[in-house]
RNA sequence: GCCUCCUUGGCGGAAUUGGUAGACGCACCGGACUUAAAAUCCGGUUCCUUCGGGAGUGCCGGUUCGACUCCGGCAGGAGGCACCA
């Protein structure tokens, strides 16, 4: 029997057209139906996609198609994270307008995505750079401003003195601007902030409720928020001569138990005390200038030696009469955390120890391991950091002596609180979110600065604040600021000439609420609470681990902020989160070091890799994330042309667990293509065979096939529910293998009469359970099997639970933990019966060698272990 | 430096969460079909072995009738955070 090959090139566009025409993937806002919202992190339209970009969309698509079949009203939309710096760079380099560049990319990428056969509701498509989107973002910003969740303050920025622009931390390389190469300066600038810290406690606490998030992501967010419990208290200050002065020094500490080990105090160079005394302390001005030049990059901070300048002030120790602690301005104290001031306890903090050694300050140990000798306990080069209650004891600490660290903290806190000189406080590492960007291609911040009225939001009826088309990208700096007219407006309150805010928003703002906008993408308010409350939260969100902290935290914040403004009633936007791995590929370089595309090389039978055109030797480099720069990319067009998109989808889902990186290989895509052909052949064979009537009295062979089909269906369903696509794929293969063998038997002639009908049933189940993964193939097969309805709009088949249980089972039998035999028994066999039968087994008798068993452990339906 | 995770055949990986280690796929080897090749189908493939067996999930130890799975230590790798007081 010969079967025509499955022709993906013809079949796939056909079904895509049919799905499209019948609007099967359009999501209706129908609060009566149970909903399921599947979302993949929307792409930045950078140009073209490669096949590596497809993985998370395919995963989401499998879930969407499965949930649709399970009867859910599925929302599965797509959009574009379309503002951002690359568009502006393109404008500068190629003289194209950022808008033109962006929309052209969107068009390209949309048609590429459509090749993948995704079950998307394209009617809800949105782009964040479209005024229909960012108008509402501006409205949200104004709402936040009115709620006190958006505010302006001075803050440090990385300033590129050549390009006259603010740089993001990632744009600072070795302390220099990435474009200009000029040393970056730390500068104070008025910037807009969103008050994420208003929700620090909530954002931390409700991480616990996000049970369908990876632990790893929750932990990363927890560390990022960085809650710590400590004590804030004030020192009285005296001058050189011991006179009390009219200033106090407030510090924050988590180690108040070590107060008796304090030997100095330190403030940030930016601390008001240091600023105030800049003029009258020798060397302080120069020290502060050095500090400002340091930049904000991590390496700069890490490499820097701990240094300080004494301010000529002394803090009075709160519990030791007459003890004066010198106060320094020190470069390792951050103004942005706690009070910007600390007391230094060199015995129990490494930075303090380094500092004390450098400046010859006393090092007094006040905590030591429990049971140690207090006299002999010394601190050398390493501070003693242990603070677990059971292992430690306080020494050299007056009324704290003998206490554990926890007890001492308690005692100190109570003393301070009794006299109102200090109180227990909670601090967070999390800072407010600076959203100001001095760029053109972003959402304009809808604010107006008026000399009389101050900062005034743009009234709702004047939104959106549109970007001007005629910006100039040739001069450095912010094009909006340079624009001759754009920023000049009348104050909406007093009508006098005023200035528009020329900052645009961080693009992370755009992506902080798009998932909510998808519920009502054309509404004339940012959200429609009723509909948003129906669709949200997103039931399954899928994206890269690189967004584990910022994007996901900002979106969580935004949802709370939108809730506070009455736009929806929801605190957590993403019920389930999945972080998928990347697609990686070998890299190739020729002798001159030029990167080669995979399609430019061929691999010989001996494994050597050569240039496909010239035959020159090619060196194979490491397997890396697909990227344009290393050219290790495969285009979706070439794969779809050669193998069809179902083969590509199947391959992306096979083998590697979805959260891990997966290597794209020629052999892999060919293997997937073979499976597609194999299913098609099976379907063709079954479709051509007269199945005959379905027999009720089913033969053992047919029963085995039916059981295999239902077991596979049960497994595949569970695997898709849990996003274990690699296992779902394996279970389909397993069933395919069973069917292949049975087909062979059926061809033999002496097969039971009910086998063909059962085989047809099994093949149909196989097709249906594969449909979410290889949807075009499944539709074509389903039609070939004589069905009229579309699988894309058909319910998921039911598992027959009776097919999942076996009447007799095979128990492995161990002797002393080693498998020696097997026992076939009824599923519900009595333990005693099993024990007796086991001892009669030859493998067991041999292994025992005549010895008496001491014990027999029977784990029902699992295993038997005979202990001799 | 701190925190987290990972380590199973030639390769990707599976193992019902303490119960037959290696499902399924790739690659490779053999066979069938073919004049031949491709395609397809069938069989084999953890290692050692004196063919009886023995060893085996990074390494060392522990708990258990039984450990890839739990506990302690070590090694290697990946990721996150990083003067956060």
**In what helix (H) or strand (E) does residue A415 lie, and over which residues does it extend?**
helix A405-418
Nearest to A620 by CA among A663, A670, A668: A663
Nucleotide nearest to A818 (CA to C1'): B66
What nucleotides of chain B have any atom within 7 angstroms of a protein Cβ?
3-5, 12-16, 19-21, 23-27, 39-43, 54-55, 65-67, 79-85
Closest residue by Cα to the C1' atom of nucleotide B3?
A: A223
Res A306: pLDDT: 85
Residue A767 reports pLDDT greater than 60: yes
Distance, angstroms, CA A862 to C1' B57?
21
Residue A296 reports pLDDT greater than 70: no
Using one digit for the tens of pLDDT, what is the confidence trace for A135-174? 999 999 999 999 999 999 988 888 888 877 777 666 666 6
Neighbours of A336 (CB within 10 A): 12
Nearest to A553 by CA among A574, A576, A526, A529: A574
Nearest to A661 by CA among A577, A721, A585: A585
Q: Mean pLDDT check: name the lowest of A156-160, A857-861, A862-866.
A: A156-160
Closest residue by Cα to the C1' atom of nucleotide B23?
A: A730
Average pLDDT for A470-497: 92
Closest residue by Cα to the C1' atom of nucleotide B4?
A: A216
Residue A1 reports pLDDT greater than 50: no
Residue A402 reports pLDDT greater than 80: yes
Q: SS3 of A745, please?
A: helix
Q: How many CA atoms lie within 13 A of A125 on its CB side?
A: 13
Distance, angstroms, CA A752 to C1' B75?
59
Nearest to A507 by CA among A564, A456, A454, A436: A436
Distance, angstroms, CA A137 to C1' B45?
61
Distance, angstroms, CA A737 to C1' B50?
39
Using one digit for the tens of pLDDT, what is the confidence trace for A262-287? 999 999 999 999 999 999 898 999 99
Residue A175 reports pLDDT greater than 90: no
Distance, angstroms, CA A662 to C1' B59?
28
CB A763 within 8 A of CB A683: yes
Using one digit for the tens of pLDDT, what is the confidence trace for A349-399? 988 999 999 999 999 999 988 777 888 888 888 888 877 656 788 999 999
Nucleotide nearest to A337 (CA to C1'): B84
Residue A243 reports pLDDT greater than 70: yes
Top-confidence residue, A398 or A187: A398
Distance, angstroms, CA A232 to C1' B53?
72
User: CB neighbours of A37 closer than 8 A, spacing ≥ 6?
Assistant: A74, A75, A76, A535, A536, A537, A538, A539, A540
Q: How far apart are CA A650 and CA A729, in angstroms?
A: 8
Res A854: pLDDT: 86
Res A295: pLDDT: 54
Convert A24-69 into a string of H (helix), E (strand) and C (coil): CCCCCCCCCCCEEEEEECCCCCCCCCCHHHHHHHHHHHHHHHHHHH
Radius of gyration for the alpha carbons in chain A, expressed in angstroms and rounded: 35
Nucleotide nearest to A267 (CA to C1'): B85
Residue A437 reports pLDDT greater than 50: yes
Residue A298 reports pLDDT greater than 50: no
Nearest to A180 by CA among A192, A164, A198: A164
How much is the mean pLDDT over chain A? 91
Q: At A747, is the pLDDT very low, low, confident or very high (cuts 50, 70, 90)? A: confident
CB A653 within 8 A of CB A609: no
Distance, angstroms, CA A295 to C1' B22?
54
Residue A184 reports pLDDT greater than 90: no
Distance, angstroms, CA A586 to C1' B67?
37
Q: Mean pLDDT check: name the lowest of A333-342, A745-754, A834-843.
A: A745-754
Please indicate, yes or no, whether the overall pTM of this predicted structure exceeds 0.90.
Answer: yes
Using one digit for the tens of pLDDT, what is the confidence trace for A671-728? 999 999 999 999 999 988 776 666 566 888 899 999 999 999 999 999 999 999 999 9
Closest residue by Cα to the C1' atom of nucleotide B66?
A: A817
Distance, angstroms, CA A813 to C1' B15?
18
Nucleotide nearest to A306 (CA to C1'): B83
Using one digit for the tens of pLDDT, what is the confidence trace for A88-137? 988 888 889 999 999 999 999 999 999 999 999 999 999 999 999 999 99
Tokens at A678, concatenated: 């194999």
- Report the share of chain A in percent with pLDDT over 90: 69
Residue A539 reports pLDDT greater than 70: yes
Using one digit for the tens of pLDDT, what is the confidence trace for A5-17? 899 999 999 999 9
**In what helix (H) or strand (E) does residue A703 lie, and over which residues does it extend?**
helix A700-721
Nucleotide nearest to A855 (CA to C1'): B65
Residue A299 reports pLDDT greater than 50: no
């Amino acid at each position: 029997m010969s079967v025509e090959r499955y022709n993906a090139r013809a079949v796939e566009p056909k079904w895509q057209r049919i799905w499209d025409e019948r609007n099967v993937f359009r999501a209706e806002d129908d609060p009566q139906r149970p909903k399921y919202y599947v979302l993949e992190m929307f792409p930045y339209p950078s140009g073209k996609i490669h096949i590596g970009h497809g993985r998370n969309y395919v995963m989401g698509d499998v879930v969407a198609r499965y949930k649709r079949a399970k009867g859910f009203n599925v929302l599965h939309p797509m959009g574009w994270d379309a503002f951002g710096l690359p568009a502006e760079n393109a404008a500068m380099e190629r003289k194209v307008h950022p808008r033109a560049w962006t929309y052209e990319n969107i068009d390209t990428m949309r048609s590429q995505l459509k090749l993948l056969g995704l079950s998307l509701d394209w009617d809800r498509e949105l782009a964040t750079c479209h005024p229909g989107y960012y108008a509402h973002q501006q409205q949200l910003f104004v709402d936040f401003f009115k709620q006190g969740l958006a505010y302006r303050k001075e803050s440090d920025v990385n300033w590129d003195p050549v390009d006259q622009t603010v740089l993001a931390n990632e744009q600072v390389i070795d302390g220099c601007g990435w474009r200009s190469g000029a040393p970056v300066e730390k500068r104070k600038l008025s910037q807009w902030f969103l008050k994420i810290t208003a929700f620090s406690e909530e954002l931390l606490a409700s991480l616990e409720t996000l049970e369908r998030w990876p632990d790893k992501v929750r932990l990363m967010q927890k560390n990022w928020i960085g809650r710590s419990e400590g004590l804030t208290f004030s020192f009285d200050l005296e001058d050189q001569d011991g006179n009390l002065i009219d200033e106090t020094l407030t510090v924050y500490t988590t180690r108040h138990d070590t107060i008796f080990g304090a030997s100095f105090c330190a403030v940030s160079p930016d601390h008001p005390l240091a600023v105030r005394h800049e003029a009258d302390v020798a060397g302080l001005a120069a020290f502060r200038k050095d500090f400002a030049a340091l930049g904000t990059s991590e390496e700069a901070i890490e490499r820097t030696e701990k240094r300080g300048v004494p301010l000529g002030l002394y803090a009075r120790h709160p519990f030791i009469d007459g003890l004066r602690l010198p106060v320094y301005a020190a470069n390792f104290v951050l103004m942005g955390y706690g009070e910007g001031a600390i007391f230094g306890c060199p015995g129990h903090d490494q930075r303090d120890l380094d500092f004390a050694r450098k400046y010859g300050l006393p090092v007094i140990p006040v905590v030591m391991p429990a049971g140690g000798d207090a006299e002999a306990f010394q601190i050398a080069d390493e501070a003693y950091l242990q603070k677990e209650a059971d292992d430690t004891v306080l020494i050299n600490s007056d009324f704290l002596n003998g206490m554990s660290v926890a007890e001492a903290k308690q005692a100190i806190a109570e003393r301070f609180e009794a006299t109102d000189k200090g109180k227990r406080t909670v601090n967070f590492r999390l800072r407010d979110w600076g959203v100001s960007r001095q760029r053109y291609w972003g959402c304009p911040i809808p604010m107006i600065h008026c000399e009389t009225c101050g900062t005034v939001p743009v009234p709702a009826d004047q939104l959106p604040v549109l970007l001007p088309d005629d910006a100039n990208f040739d001069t450095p700096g912010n094009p909006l600021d340079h624009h001759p007219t754009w920023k000049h407006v009348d104050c909406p309150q007093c009508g006098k000439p005023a200035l528009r805010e020329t900052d645009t928003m961080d693009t992370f703002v755009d992506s902080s609420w798009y998932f909510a906008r998808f519920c009502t993408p054309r509404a004339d308010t940012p959200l429609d609470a009723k509909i948003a409350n129906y669709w949200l939260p997103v039931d399954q969100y899928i994206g890269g681990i690189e967004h584990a902290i910022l994007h996901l935290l900002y979106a969580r914040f935004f949802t709370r902020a939108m809730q506070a403004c009455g736009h929806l009633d929801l605190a957590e936007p993403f019920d389930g989160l999945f972080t998928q791995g990347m697609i990686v590929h070998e890299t190739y370089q020729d002798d001159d070091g030029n990167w080669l595309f995979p399609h430019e090389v061929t691999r010989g039978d001996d494994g050597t890799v050569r240039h496909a055109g010239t035959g020159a030797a090619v060196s194979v480099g490491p397997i890396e994330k697909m990227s344009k720069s290393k050219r290790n990319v495969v285009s979706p067009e070439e794969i779809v042309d050669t193998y069809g998109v179902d083969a590509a989808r199947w391959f992306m889902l096979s083998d590697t667990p979805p959260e891990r990186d997966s290597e794209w290989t020629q052999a892999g895509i060919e293997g997937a293509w073979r499976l597609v052909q194999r299913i098609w052949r099976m379907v063709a064979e079954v479709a051509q065979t007269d199945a005959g009537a379905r027999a009720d009295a089913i033969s053992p062979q047919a029963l085995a096939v039916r059981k295999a089909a239902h077991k596979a269906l049960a497994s595949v369903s569970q695997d898709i529910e849990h996003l274990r696509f690699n296992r779902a794929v394996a279970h389909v293969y397993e069933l395919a293998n069973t069917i292949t063998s049975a087909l062979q038997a059926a061809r033999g002639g002496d097969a039971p009469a009910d086998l063909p009908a059962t085989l047809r049933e099994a093949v149909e189940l196989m097709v249906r359970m594969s449909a979410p993964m290889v949807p075009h193939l499944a539709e074509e097969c389903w039609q070939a099997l004589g069905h009229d309805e579309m699988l894309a709009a058909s319910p998921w088949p039911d598992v027959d639970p009776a097919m999942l249980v076996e009447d007799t089972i095979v128990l492995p039998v161990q002797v002393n933990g080693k498998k020696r035999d097997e026992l076939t028994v009824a599923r519900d066999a009595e333990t005693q019966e099993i024990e007796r039968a086991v001892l009669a087994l030859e493998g067991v008798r041999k292994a025992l060698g005549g010895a008496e068993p001491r014990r027999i452990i029977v784990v029902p339906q699992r295993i038997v272990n005979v202990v001799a």
